[in-house]
């Protein structure tokens, strides 16, 4: 569906898309997409926080 989020620009695009579809009805493709995007965003946030804390 989506590749991993690797940049701040990709993250911002994912947020915008998530906000467009976050109220989708369960069982719809948009709802599944919102769940998938939220997982990708969480992964990016966790990595990004680690990177800022320990690699800089």
Q: pLDDT, tens digit, for every residue of 12-55? A: 999 999 999 999 999 999 999 999 999 999 999 888 776 666 65
Instruction: Label residue 16 exposed, middle or buried (CB < 10 Å: 0-12, 13-18, 19+).
Output: exposed
Cα–Cα distance, 56 to 43 (Å, whole number): 19
Confidence (pLDDT) at 41: 95
50, part of any domain: yes
Q: What's the total number of domains in the chain?
A: 1
Confidence (pLDDT) at 32: 97
The CA-based diameter of the chain, rounded to the nearest angstrom, is: 42
Between 2 and 32, residue with greater pLDDT: 32
39, part of any domain: yes
The residue segments making up the domain with residue 34 are: 8-55
- pTM to 2 decimal places: 0.81
2, part of any domain: no
Confidence (pLDDT) at 56: 47
1, part of any domain: no
3, part of any domain: no
The band of 6, judged by pLDDT with boundaries at 50, 70 and 90, is confident
């Amino acid at each position: 569906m989506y590749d991993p989020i690797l940049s701040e620009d990709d993250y911002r695009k994912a947020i915008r898309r998530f906000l467009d579809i976050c109220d989708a009805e369960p069982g719809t493709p948009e709802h599944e997409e919102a769940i998938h995007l939220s997982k990708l965003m969480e992964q990016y946030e966790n990595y990004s926080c680690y990177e800022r804390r320990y690699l800089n």
